[in-house]
Amino acid sequence: MMVGKCRLRPDFGVRAPGRPAAAALRASILLAVLAVALAVPAQAQEAEYAVPGGRFFTQTGGDTPDPGDGYAVVDDSEARFWTAFEEFGGVAEVGYPVSRRFIWDGFVTQVMQKAVFQWRPGEQATAFVNVFDDLHRLGYDARLADELVPEQEDFDESGLAWPQILEQRIALLDEEPLLRRVYLASGDYLRHFGLPTSRVRNYSGLRAIRLQRAVLQLWLDDFPWARAGTVTVANGGDLAKQLGLFPQAALAPHAPNVIPATLPAGSQAKDFGTGRWFVDTEGSFLNVRQRPSVSAPIVDSANDGEEVFPTGRTIEAGGLTWVEIGTARWVSGEFLSPQRRETQPVDPPTPVTPPTTGTDYSSGSWQANVPGSTLNVRAQPSRGAQIVARFQHGRVLDLTGNTESVGGETWLELNVNGAIAWVVAEFVAPVTGGAQPVTPGTGDSLIEEVNRVRSGLGLSPLVKSDALTQAASSHALYWITNRGDFHNETAGLQHFTGVSIFDRAKAANYELNWIDEVAGLLDPARTLDWALSTVYHRYMFVHPSAVHIGYGSASDGNVTVSIFNVGLQFDRSGPNPQPSIYPADGTSAVPPQWDGFEGPDPAPGVPRPLGPPITVLFRLGDDVTWGQASLTRLSDGAVLPATNQTSAWRKGLSLVPHDPLGKSETYRFNVSWTVNGVAGTSSSTFTTASQ
């Protein structure tokens, strides 16, 4: 997951005070039904129209072969979503539908832009899903943080009655009266927004608070999407869809004449339940991921034949059945079996440097010491006890200091997600500082890759800066130790070197005053690849005024963070062309589409996926006024719909096509500008990849 300076795009503005939100109840069902045929009305070309039992909407149908495709919201024997849609206030309150019906958590579900409906058969009523609670439970908080969604907090409410809990939660809004006013003005605020689940969080130009079903945002500065003092609401439905929370099949629009049957929870023959299962990978490891997605971070691994204990929760995503085996721990059900194979899990081999006897484990920092293997973490101090986790080499351990001697071996007690577990002392070694920086080696390969890209743009190469490398590596070590904000540090915490990017660079004796930064929760190579595919995170690597680069990363054995710093010279006057355009003129094999996941939002309000972003940059010291920018398909001369945005201090402009481009097609980008009082135009022609 990548992070940087970013803002969550608001989906709609503040509701007029005094307009009550419609009442919301809780609801859902398990059974799917046969498709129901509908008569298509004569006015089917309209954006929306009545159908038996409800209404059909094409506004969110997206790019399908038939522009009449969309989603129906209806009442039938399975669920009464149309009644709920009207009771809740219609499009103004819940937005347009963005999915068909599907089974989620055992209930019939349909996603709207601003809410997620579930039908509860026991109550015979529709409920709003607490989407942000689900995203938290499924391990999406790191990705939400990239969108400036405050982290969900745990509040000690033991022994409190419901009125006391309600009073304390609403009091969290007192810190910002404008946010409180908007929250309470929604009428039935508990059913519309749910409870606050964080304190008010301050960001650059923004204050925000997280709720169970939405995020309230107060903008402190003027932005293209909101004026200073405006409160907007970022909603769970669209955001959860964007993050890939729901099955892709459920998001596919359908024809108006047939309402498809509710998509089942999955066609898997296995019923995972909550019993004991075994990993079945024919001798290899099984990745344990933070979220139910093949692109989610790998947090652990399990051996072939190892026991796992599903929580009872499964999710269909990306064509796979994902099984939850713990908090933020998911595996593919394809590799689980109710019977253990003959292959048995084994404890790791003896490490190269085993600890000495009589070691005091009650102080200091300790890590898994299993080079080339993983460390079994067991429920009891016994080799025959259940394996509750498997840690990679270098994973920092939370030892309690308690030890047990069993079978001639010393066992160490540790905390694992709040539970007590045990490891063999033989496979534990001390570390310094609780986390170790990952040495980037010479850095030549990555810096050479950046300079290869810059050379194609006609730009001078970047020079590796020892000071920026030190600043980046120190900040990576700080973040992996303390977590928190990706770009700012807190004085007094371990490994603190400076509050801001500028402070840390100066602490490392960097000589220039303009420094930019990119952070990512991947290794440095993949962080760089991702950044170059975006808009705002690409800028610093291909900027004409950039002169120096440094990077570093750190890992606790579970999570890796990578930091890139680039130094820019304000009065740069070298041989760089003006402007630099990415992709460069004549580039081939440009990826035809981009997922668009970046903050700030490079194309607010535009459905994903998008076309590949095009960026243009002048020097920091130039006085730039932008004119028109456009993208033309050369095969037919069509000018494609696109979003243009500018970055004032970076002297940059971006163009993002609203739709994926055609394969093996040639396009021309044109832009007009006035720089230092001189008007001009630039263009770049590129060809997309064949697949």
pLDDT single digits (tens) 638-681? 999 999 998 887 899 999 999 999 999 999 999 999 988 888 89
Q: Considering only 8-22, 34-48, 307-321, which range has the smallest mean pLDDT?
A: 8-22
Q: DSSP state, 112?
A: B
The per-residue pLDDT for range 390-408, each reduced to its tens digit, is 665 666 677 888 899 887 8
According to the CATH classification, is domain 277-337 in 2.30.30.40? yes
The string of pLDDT tens digits covering residues 138-177 is 777 777 877 788 989 988 888 889 889 999 999 999 999 9
Beta bridge partners of 409: 406
pLDDT of residue 265: 52
Grouping H, G, I as helix, E, B as strand and the rest as coil, residue 464 is strand
Which CATH fold would you assign to the domain 437-568? Pathogenesis-related Protein p14a (3.40.33)
Which CATH number is associated with domain 580-688?
2.60.40.1220
Fold for 366-432, please state it.
SH3 type barrels. (2.30.30)
Per the model's pLDDT, the better-predicted residue between 553 and 390 turns out to be: 553
**Most confident range, picked from 139-143, 323-327, 684-688:** 684-688
**What is residue 19's predicted lDDT score, i.e. its pLDDT?**
24
Specify the DSSP class assigned to residue 132: H
Same fold for the domain at 277-337 and the one at 366-432? yes
Q: Could you tell me the two tokens for 656? A: 């993002």
Residue 441's pLDDT is what? Answer: 38
pLDDT at 342: 47
Ranking 130-134, 215-219, 257-261, 396-400 by mean pLDDT, the lowest is 257-261
Of the listed ranges 192-196, 335-339, 461-465, the one predicted with least confidence: 335-339
User: Would you list the domain boundaries of the chain?
Assistant: 150-233, 277-337, 366-432, 437-568, 580-688
Q: pLDDT class for 574, splitting at 50, 70, 90?
A: very low
Question: Where do the DSSP E strands lie in 227-289?
Answer: 231-235, 258-259, 277-279, 286-289
> Which tokens in the block code for residue 388?
């509750």
Q: Exposed, middle or buried: residue 448 (CB in 10 Å: 0-12, 13-18, 19+)? A: middle
- d(C-alpha 190, C-alpha 136), whole Å: 19
Confidence of residue 232 (pLDDT cuts 50, 70, 90): confident
Angstrom distance (rounded) from CA 291 to CA 322 = 9
More confident residue, 639 or 259: 639
**Digit-coded pLDDT (tens) for 463-506:** 988 889 989 998 999 999 888 778 888 888 888 888 888 889 88
pLDDT > 90: percent of the chain? 25
User: Quick one: pLDDT band at residue 17, thresholds 50, 70, 90?
Assistant: very low
Cα angle value 587/518/478 (rounded, 5°): 155
The answer to whether residues 504 and 478 touch, using CB atoms and an 8 Å cutoff, is: no
pLDDT value of position 5: 33
